[in-house]
Each structure stands twice: as C-alpha cells, then as structure tokens.
Structure 1
Amino acid sequence: MKVSSKGEYALRALILLGNSQGSVLSIQEISDKTLVSIHYLEQILLQLKKMGYVTSKRGVKGGYMLHKKAAEIHLGEVIRDLEGPLSPMACASITKYEPCPLEEGCQLKPLWSLIRDTIAYVLERTTLEDLLENRILLQKGEDFVVVKRTS
C-alpha cells in the first residue's frame, strides 16, 4: 500500500475541517492552510463529498465542512475509498485479490498478509477525532503505535 498525495491531501483537508468543526471554510482557506492547489483540492473535496465525509455550502460565504462527526470518520475507510486496498500486494489483498503463479508455497505471502493486517488494524481503529486530539503516540522503546483514548 502506498498513500498517494491525494490520500495525504484529503487527510490534511479533513483535519483542517475537523479543527474548524461547525465552521464553513472556503476552498481558498483550505488551500492556503494545507498548501494544496485549489484545482487539485477541488477534485479531492468533490470525492470526499461524494463519499459522504464533507458537505458544501454555496454562495459568497460558501465552502466546505465535515458531514460526519470526527469520531465517525475512520482513516482506514477514507484511505480505502480514495486509494484502494490496504494490502501491499494483490495476492494478499482481501478486497482486490489477484492470484499469482508463484503463490502456492510462496514464503513472501505471509509477510504481505501480516503487513496488510497491521496496516488495517491501525487505520481501521484510528478516527479523525484521534488525530485531532493527538492520540497517536509512538511508545518510547517500543516498535508500535498506540491510539490512547481516555474513555
């Protein structure tokens, strides 16, 4: 799995909109604060709108705002919707599996599956709210990331 600029910019926009919960932000404001061109941002926000993550308001004071609560936006879903499967290889994908002629007895497939499962585990359990509340922590001396919730 590789997160493209589209995926990163979409997450940047969602974070900005989440931090401005309840306020409508113009595309110019979003562009200025995320450093994404208006043209590219229009395409991304249109996709996010079609997927139900954001809504738009027309007019002079128009712009974008979150359509869902930040706690309801799971990063795994956003990334899958924008980028496709989380698996690094098609032979290990659950949603877009493609057979490989070397698959039988392949000693790499368990690695690709572990990577897929690890990525999915973290992204599916992480919400936009977790990012907004700075709950993503790298544990000192550990090799994994933890989402800390107070509830």
Structure 2
Amino acid sequence: MKLSTKGRYGVTLMVDLAMYQGEGPISLKSIAEREELSEHYLEQLIAPLRNAGLVRSIRGAYGGYVLAKTPQEITVGDIIRVLEGPITIVEDPEDELTYLWEKIRDAINQVLDSVTLADVAERKKSGGDNFMFYI
C-alpha cells in the first residue's frame, strides 16, 4: 500500500492540530509554515476532514481550525479513510491468493485503527524517529 500526499499531509495536518490543541483555533497558514507544506494544498484537505466531523472551523479574525474530538478519539485510520478512501488490495477474481490479500488488508486496517493522533503527537513531541514511520 502506498499513501498519497493527501493521506500523508492530512495526517501531518491533524497531528499539528493535536499538538496545539487547547491553544485556540489554528490557522492553516501557521500549520503550513510549521510543517513546510503548501497552504493551498492544506485548504483542499481540510474540507473533507471537516465534513467527516474530525475538525471544526472557527470563523473570525482569530479563527482557524480545532479538532472536533480529542486526539485519543481520532485514529490515523479515520484520517486515511476520509482522504484516501477505504483500504483495499487490488483484487483479481482469478487470483488463488484472495485469502492472503484479505489478511493483509485487515492487518493494515488494524494498525491504522490502533494508532491515535495522541500517540503520533506524543512521539513527535518527544523527538522520536520521523513520526510518519510510526504509522
């Protein structure tokens, strides 16, 4: 499985929101600067995350975005499925290894659903390895 930039940047965006939770709404501009990402690209990612109920937007001069749930309640799998769609393995009806591919898909889903934003944010704060390798 290969994550596109949508999935990777989406997780990065959400981890940034988790790390600064409680400090008020966070602008996409500040996230883009901290994470060295395109603000325009983040604008494209935030809408589906908001529509899925993972983030809330706050309007006004000091507006921005906040997590709609606690970092412990949002998994990496939640984010990936919103931005990338369901995790699937290419299926071939004539493939005799369908059972194997289903087991691999299930294992990937289990890992993605067992890692929360809180887990990834804590690892990033502690200066662990590149946090994206954690997922």
Q: TM-score range by the shorter chain?
A: 0.7 to 0.9
> Offset of 1:133 from its aligned partner?
2.3
Task: Report the equivalent of 1:67.
Answer: 68
> Is contact 1:9–1:34 with CA below 8 Å preserved after alignment?
no
Aligned residues: 128
> Offset of 1:74 from its aligned partner?
1.4
Scaled by the length of structure 2, what TM-score is found? Answer: 0.83
Q: Using the alignment, how far apart are the partners of 2:111 and 2:93 within structure 1?
A: 30
Larger radius of gyration: 1
Matched, 1:122 2:131: no
More helix as a share of residues: 2
Report the CA distance shift for 1:120/1:25 in structure 2 as closer, same or farther (over 3 A): same
Task: Report the equivalent of 1:86.
Answer: 87
Q: Which moved more, 1:72-81 or 1:10-19?
A: 72-81
Q: Which portions of structure 1, spanning 4 or more consecutive aligned residues, are displaced by more than 6 angstroms?
A: none
Q: Using the alignment, how far apart are the partners of 2:134 and 2:13 within structure 1?
A: 23
Residue ranges of structure 2 left out of the alignment (5+ in a row)? none
Scaled by the length of structure 1, what TM-score is found? Answer: 0.75
Task: Report the equivalent of 1:140.
Answer: none
Q: Using the alignment, how far apart are the partners of 1:14 and 1:120 within structure 2?
A: 19
Aligned to 1:59, what secondary structure does the other structure show? Answer: coil
Identity in percent: 40
AA partner of residue 124 (structure 1): D
CA root-mean-square deviation: 2.4
> Offset of 1:146 from its aligned partner?
9.2
